[in-house]
Chains A and B, each alone.
Chain A
Amino acid sequence: MREAGRVLAATVAPDTWRLTAALAVSLLPGAFFCLAVVLSLTLAASLSWVVGLGTILMALALRLSALLAGVDRRRVSRFYGLTIAPAPLPARQPGEPMIDAQRRWRRSPAAWRLARYQVIRAPACAAAIFVLVLCWWTVIGLLFVVPLRRQPTAPAFTSWIFGHGVLGAGAEVAAGLTGVAVLLLIPRVVRAFTRLDAALAQRMLGPDRAELLAGEVNRLAQSRAQAIDASDIERHRIERDLHDGIQPRLVSLAMQIDRARVRMNRDPAAAEDLLRQAHAGAKDALADLRSIARGIHPAILDERGLDAALSALVAGSPVPVAVSVRLSRRPGRSQEAVAYFTAAEAIANLAKHASASQATLRISDETGALVVEVADDGHGGAVITPGGGLAGLGGRLAAVDGSLTIDSPRGGPTTVMAVIPCES
């Protein structure tokens, strides 16, 4: 009895009805989509003998199916919770003649796959819905109409739907059992059909394996180029630091010593004063050298990790920075370095440009990725300029598959956030 209750519950469960509705929604607009695609392709094919026009019409028909694929992608995501990446469609390259772009549409396997999807999907859905209607028909007939027929005052509709004649008792029991069995099957059938619908969409609306790989190769090539750019910017910065920071100090140091030498006999007091300046200058140069070496790569980062390195970093910041580091385990070396330099660059920037009075630096790996967030209460308006520090940072992040987002409305506040995936 309880079993029967569960079967009934499954049949009338909102899920079954929702999925049935999903199939209906796939079919109804799908039929129009199918018609539109078939008609436009047929038109294009029939005019293919007109030079140029055929190509353009064909490309337009394929674009139409790409547009409809977008609608279907949204439908699948809404009803089945399935996110499908867009298939890689031809994009017009700058300077490319219009007609060549159209030709590339005609040759694009992805575009044709989207068109095929529209052609296949409506008939497939129609077949599925036909099967479902048949199931319900059987259930209603076997469970309700057959018993009704025994009444002398059987309603008229029972005869024009299910014909005449009264079954024997044994046949009636068999009919009842069959009805229950079909009722029991309906939720499974619905689920199987929607699964097919979703699988079809996933196979045909998204990128196929080769296209996925090609996309990944593109992305990798891009991030590698960015990493090279980043290391270029970095080398440039080190050269600047050495030449604008250390070299003038050493030159002026040497100059002071030589001036002292020249004066040694003439004016020993002045010479001594120069030597005292030179001594102080030498110590300043050492301090500069230390900070430049730290800027290239802080030794403490390797030895004691992010927390220690960041404490040392914010200690040197003119703007007070509250640091919170929450890590469940130590990140990989390169992730750690990228996180450190992201924080260092963001803090250097806010000290230089934001006129902030305070800032916070948060690092955590709660979400599974290493997240670095630097926020300040300055006047905002930070942008990524090509060749600048933030651009270099973006490249560095791309090299470890990370991403950089900057939220800095004019008037502030500014939040710089980097997400660095951890090696699993």
Chain B
Amino acid sequence: MRVVIAEDNVLLREGISALLRDDSFDVVAAVPDAAQLLSAVAALMPDLAIVDVRMPPTHTDEGLRAALEIRSRWPEVGLVVLSQYVEERYATELLAGDTCRTGYLLKDRVADVTEFTASLRRVAAGGTALDPEVVRQLLARGRAGGPLTRLTAREREVLSLIAEGHSNSSIADTLVVSTGAVEKHVASIFGKLELPPDDRSHRRVLAVLSYLRDENQRS
């Protein structure tokens, strides 16, 4: 898998490159700012771009803006945005409309090498990787007495994993249960939240996220 990395901190840029090469990713370019990222993507058409939100010159959100530009110009390029903070608001901007081939992760997640590379593979394969912290923020604001409060603890866990972008089999692995048990939880959750059942993984992420966002706006 061909990857472009945009990260201004030399230590992290080298570190991420090294860890991806360990895991047989093909790092075709590693650049320190948004302008070089855009030209690298245009020239190399990678499968995946890993983008730091905060980069020179202004050190605010140029990485996020570059990511949105990549999304609109080259939708087939997978995007994983790394941030020093994860904010539900940024996630909303990035995932607006489509969650395909998109990841939004706390920068710290690169430290869990196995999970990080799994997230990258999921995104490159057309899925979603949303940071657990964002999902936590989304879930935390459920209304008292709203449909979310009717979920069991296990169902909430499953819902979080769906929102993070995991497939049923991945959820089963994480929770150490059978795929059949996961499917039963998913059906129950979608029933309680009155969402149309949908097996395609990225569609259901979108459904769950927009449900959670609406729920937040209502609360």
Contact = CB atoms under 8 A, between A and B. Distances in A.
Interface in B104-157: 107-108, 110-114
Given A243-B84, A259-B18, A254 B111 contact: yes
B9 A254 contact: no
21 contacts: A240-B59, A243-B84, A244-B59, A247-B107, A248-B9, A248-B11, A248-B12, A251-B15, A251-B108, A252-B11, A252-B12, A254-B108, A254-B111, A256-B15, A257-B111, A258-B112, A258-B114, A259-B113, A262-B22, A262-B113, A262-B114
Most buried by A among B15, B18, B19, B84: B15
A247 B54 CA distance: 13
Interface in A258-289: 258-259, 262-263, 281
A373 B84 CA distance: 38
B8 to A, nearest CB: 8
B13 to A, nearest CB: 9
A352 to B, nearest CB: 15
A310 B9 CA distance: 30
A249 interface: yes
| Interface of A, helix, strand, loop or mixed by DSSP | helix
A259 B84 contact: no
Given A243-B84, A248-B9, A262-B114, 8 more contacts: A248-B107, A249-B11, A251-B15, A254-B108, A255-B16, A259-B18, A259-B19, A259-B113
A254 B12 CA distance: 11
A247 B107 CA distance: 9
B9 A255 contact: no
Contact of A255 (B19, B59, B84): B19
Interface string B6-50: 000101100110110010000000000000000000000000000
Contacts of B113: 255, 258-259, 262
Nearest to A256: B15
Interface of A: 240, 243-244, 247-249, 251-252, 254-259, 262-263, 281
Contact of A258 (B9, B107, B111): B111
Contacts of B15: 251-252, 255-256
B12 A251 contact: yes
Contacts of A247: 84, 107
A248 B11 CA distance: 7
Interface in B72-86: 84
A249 B11 CA distance: 7
Contacts of B59: 240, 244
A150 B158 CA distance: 131
A247 B108 CA distance: 8
B107 A255 contact: no
A254 B114 CA distance: 13
Most buried by A among B9, B54, B59, B107: B9
Contacts of A243: 54, 84
Nearest 3 Cβ contacts at the A-B interface: A254-B111, A248-B9, A252-B15
Most buried by A among B108, B110, B111, B114: B111
A251 B116 CA distance: 13
A240 B18 CA distance: 26
Contacts of B12: 248, 251-252
Given A259-B19, A259-B22, A262-B22, A251 B110 contact: yes
A256 B108 CA distance: 12
Nearest to B59: A240
Contacts of B22: 259, 262-263
B162 to A, nearest CB: 26
Nearest to A247: B84
Contacts of B11: 248-249, 252, 281
Contacts of A256: 15
Nearest to B10: A248
Contacts of A240: 59
A262 B118 CA distance: 14
Nearest to B113: A258
Nearest to B18: A259
B9 A244 contact: yes
Given A256-B15, A259-B22, A251 B107 contact: yes
A180 B112 CA distance: 106
A252 B113 CA distance: 11
Contacts of A262: 22, 113-114
A411 to B, nearest CB: 26
Given A244-B9, A248-B9, A255 B114 contact: no
A254 B18 CA distance: 14
A71 B53 CA distance: 61
A263 B22 CA distance: 9
Contacts of A248: 9, 11-12, 107
Contacts of B107: 247-248, 251
